[in-house]
Structure 1
Amino acid sequence: MNLVLLSAQPEQALWEIRESRQLQHLQQHLDLKVGDQLKVGIRQGKRYLTEVQAITAEQVLVKPIQELAIPEKLPVTLIVALPRPKVLRRLVMDSVTLGVEKLVLIHSYRVDKSYWQSPFLQQLDDYVTLGLEQAGDTIAPKIELYRRFKPFVEDVLSEWTMPESPSFVAHPYAQQGLPTVKTAHCQVLIGPEGGFIPYEVELLEKNGCQSFSLGNRILRTETAISYILGRLGI
C-alpha cells in the first residue's frame, strides 16, 4: 500500500483512518509513529501528504499538510475477454495500477459462461481500490461489462473506433507486430486463454480493428496486458 485511500473528503481538520485492512497494514508494515508523514488520497479526488497526529488501536489521525500530484492515466481503453475468476482479481488490480482510463470485460466463444456468475464480479471495486493504493492514485477507471460479443463489437466498439482513437486486437497469427500509437487515445483488445476464434477476429477487423502479434511466444492474459501497455508508447 503506497497510499491510504479514503472514500470521501473528511469535513474535520483531522482525518480518521479507521478501515481495519488499512490499519493492519500501517501497524504491521510501516511501524507508524506520531509525527510521521503519510500519503492519503480521496477517492475520485485529490492526493495529500499528511502528518500523523495520533495513533490508537481503533484509528490513526492525520492532518493534511500538502497537496500532491496525481499520477497521469494511460489514454487506453483496455478490453479483455472475461478471464477465470482467480485471474480476474490480478487483471483488475494490474490494469488499475498501470493506469488505464477504462476497463471493459467482454464475452467471447472461449469464455466459460459460468465466469459471469462468479462472485468475483461483485468484488471488482475492492480490486480497484487495491490497484489505486498500489499506484498511489485516486481516480478509478470506469469499468464496463458486455455479455454479448457481436453486439458489443458492432454497436459499441465500432463507435469508439476512429482515426484519432484506433482499436487494436492482439492475435498471435497476425502479420504485423505491436504498433507504436501516435494518437491521443486507443482501444486494446486481449482475448481469452486460447485467443479469439477466427470468426471473432474477422468480425473485429471488419469493424475497424487492427490485428497485431506479440511474436511467437504465447503469453498468459495478465502477462500480455502488462507487456502491451508497457510497449504502446502513448
Structure 2
Amino acid sequence: MNRVLFNAQDFVTSDRVRLCDYRADHIRRILRAAPGDCLKVGLINDRCGSGEVLEINQSSVTLRVTLDQAPPPKRPVTLLLALPRPKMARRIVHAATELGVKKIILLNSYRVEKSFWQSPLVDDTHLFSAMVEGLAQCGDTILPTLQRARLFKPFVEDELPTLLSQRTGLVAHPYASSAFTKPSGETVLAIGPEGGFIPYEVEKLLEAGMQGFTLGPRILKVETAVPAILGQFC
C-alpha cells in the first residue's frame, strides 16, 4: 500500500479522516507510523495529497488530510477482456488497475465457462476491492470503469463499433501476422480467454474494426499477456 485511500464516509470533520479497518492496521504494523508522521493519502475518485497522523491506537488511526494534488494520468486504454477464471480475474483486474487502464470490459466468449459469471469472486464487491488495492499500490485514486458484456455477438455488433469510432482497436492473437505497434491515441485492447478467441470471434472483432497483432511465437497465459501488453503503453 503506497497510498492510503479513503472515501467520503471516512471523514469525521472537513479535514479529518478516521480509519478503523485494515488500513489502520497497515499504518500501525507495516508503516509503523507515529503521531506527527506524514503519509501519502487519497480520496477515491478524487484528489491525492498528504495526511498527518494525529492519533493512533489499537482501534483506529486519525489523520488530518490535505488533498492538493492531481492523481497520475491514466493510460489511454480500454481493456476488453474475455472473462478469465474467477481467481485469475481478480489478479488481472488488480494488475490492470495498477497499470492505469481507464476502462475494463469483461466479455463473454465461447471458451468462457458459464459458471465463471456466477462466481462471487467476480461480483462488484470483490472486483471493487481488487481495483482499490491496485490504486493503493500504484498511488492513484481514480477507479477504472467496469462493464460486463455477457453476450458476445450483440456487444461486438452493436456496441464495439461505436467504442472504436474514436479509438484504435487491437486484438491479441498468437497467429496474427502483424507485430504489436503502440498506437498514438486512445486504444481498445482485446485479449481472449485461455485458448484464445475462436476463429468466428476473431472474425467478428476484425469486422467491427479491430486489428490483429501478435507478441511473437510464445503462447502466453492471459495473466502474463495483460501486463506484458499494457506495459507497452508506458
- TM-score (structure 1 length as normaliser): 0.94
Deviations 1:129-165 (A, max 9, x none): 1111111111101100011111110011111113x41
Partner residue, 2:209? 208
For 1:18-29, what aligned pairs fall within 5 Å after superposition? 18-29=19-30
SS of match in other structure, 1:194: coil
Counterpart AA for 2:192: G
Structure 2 CA distance for aligned equivalents of residues 12 and 96 of structure 1: 30
- TM-score (structure 2 length as normaliser): 0.94
Partner residue, 2:184? 182
SS of match in other structure, 1:150: helix
For 1:106-117, what aligned pairs fall within 5 Å after superposition? 106-117=107-118
Partner residue, 1:144? 147
Counterpart AA for 2:63: V
Deviations 1:171-214 (A, max 9, x none): 0000000012012x110000001100111101111111100001
CA contact (8 A) 2:42 2:67 kept: no
Q: Which moved more, 1:90-99 or 1:51-60?
A: 51-60
CA contact (8 A) 1:171 1:211 kept: yes
Identify if the C-alpha distance between structure 1 residues 119 and 67 changes in structure 2 by more than 3 Å, giving closer, same or farther: same
Deviations 1:66-109 (A, max 9, x none): 62231110111001000001101101110111111100000000
Compute the RMSD of aligned alpha carbons. Answer: 1.4
Structure 1 CA distance for aligned equivalents of residues 167 and 121 of structure 2: 31
Partner residue, 2:200? 199
Gaps of at least 5 residues in structure 2 are none
Partner residue, 2:42? 41
Is 2:19 the partner of 1:8?
no
SS of match in other structure, 1:172: coil
Structure 2 CA distance for aligned equivalents of residues 56 and 218 of structure 1: 51
Residue 33 of structure 1, CA deviation: 0.7
Q: How many residues are aligned here?
A: 231
Structure 2 CA distance for aligned equivalents of residues 231 and 125 of structure 1: 25
Structure 2 CA distance for aligned equivalents of residues 76 and 90 of structure 1: 18
SS of match in other structure, 2:8: coil
Gaps of at least 5 residues in structure 1 are none
For 1:1-234, what aligned pairs fall within 5 Å after superposition? 1-8=1-8, 10=11, 12-65=13-66, 67-122=68-123, 123-162=126-165, 164-183=166-185, 185-232=186-233
Residue 13 of structure 1, CA deviation: 4.7
Structure 2 CA distance for aligned equivalents of residues 172 and 36 of structure 1: 50
CA contact (8 A) 2:15 2:66 kept: no
Counterpart AA for 1:157: L
Counterpart AA for 1:126: S
Q: Sequence identity, in percent? A: 44
Counterpart AA for 2:37: D
